[in-house]
């Protein structure tokens, strides 16, 4: 994963491909995506979405989806596809993202292991290696979703997954849903958990 000092969200990432969903235990599943787009719009969503979402960071409360302490500075951008984020290491020694100990709270109230942009279907039962953020560096271009949202890409190396939220007629059912991540970092060789929660504050017809 690239490290750099680019401002998060300064340009659009590649739009996710919409693909035909594979057979799934969820009969209501109508959309599966490859990767996750980082839209620069004020209200993110797919170009063909019937409904648009507005999110709010409720814990720690922030109108700008940010949080910082002495060690780390966070910025989040929730989208229907995934939870985008960047982290800046504010100290002059490395910090590590512990993916194995981090968990994702999904909009249905379930909690489980987290996947990020490099996690693939074949990694479901493997230990995900930690990611190092060197001192005074920024980690960008990544996103989070529940590990069990991944789908078999049928031999492809792409990351195929269920989005966090539907953008069709089911979308209004998700108003007030809460989701988030318990993000575990290793700082000075000690684990630290940063808990973030987000709420769907409105769903509006496009």
Nearest residue to 74 (alpha-carbon basis) of 90, 55, 56 = 90
In 1-137 the beta strands, taken as DSSP E runs, fall at 17-19, 32-34, 51-59, 61-62, 66-68, 72-78, 83-89, 95-97, 103-105, 111-116, 131-133
What Å distances lie between residue 85 and 63, 65, 66, 90, 116, CA to CA? Answer: 15, 9, 10, 16, 10
* pLDDT string in tens for the chain (206-residue length): 444 433 344 444 444 454 544 444 444 455 788 878 665 555 678 888 999 999 999 999 999 999 999 999 999 999 999 999 999 999 999 999 999 999 999 999 999 999 999 999 999 999 999 999 999 999 999 999 999 999 999 989 999 999 999 999 999 999 999 999 999 999 999 999 999 999 999 999 99
Three-state DSSP class for residue 121 = helix
Is-above-0.85 flag for pTM?
no
Tokens matching residue 25: 């235990």
């Amino acid at each position: 994963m690239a490290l750099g000092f680019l401002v998060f969200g300064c340009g659009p990432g590649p739009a996710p491909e919409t693909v035909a969903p594979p057979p799934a235990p969820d009969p209501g599943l109508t959309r599966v995506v490859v990767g996750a787009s980082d839209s620069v719009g004020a209200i993110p969503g797919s170009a063909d979405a019937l409904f648009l979402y507005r999110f709010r960071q409720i814990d720690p409360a922030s109108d700008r989806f940010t949080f910082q302490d002495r060690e780390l500075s966070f910025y989040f951008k929730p989208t229907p596809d995934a939870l985008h984020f960047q982290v800046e290491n504010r100290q002059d020694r490395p910090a590590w993202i512990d993916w194995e100990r981090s968990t994702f709270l999904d909009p249905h109230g379930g909690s489980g292991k987290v996947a990020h942009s490099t996690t693939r279907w074949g990694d479901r039962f493997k230990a995900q290696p930690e990611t190092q953020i060197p001192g005074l560096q920024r980690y960008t271009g990544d996103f989070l979703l529940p590990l069990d949202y991944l789908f078999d890409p049928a031999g492809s190396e792409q990351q195929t997954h269920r989005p966090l939220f539907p953008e069709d007629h089911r979308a209004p059912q998700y108003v007030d849903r809460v989701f988030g991540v318990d993000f575990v970092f290793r700082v000075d060789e000690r684990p630290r958990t940063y808990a973030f929660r987000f709420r769907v504050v409105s769903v509006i017809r496009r």
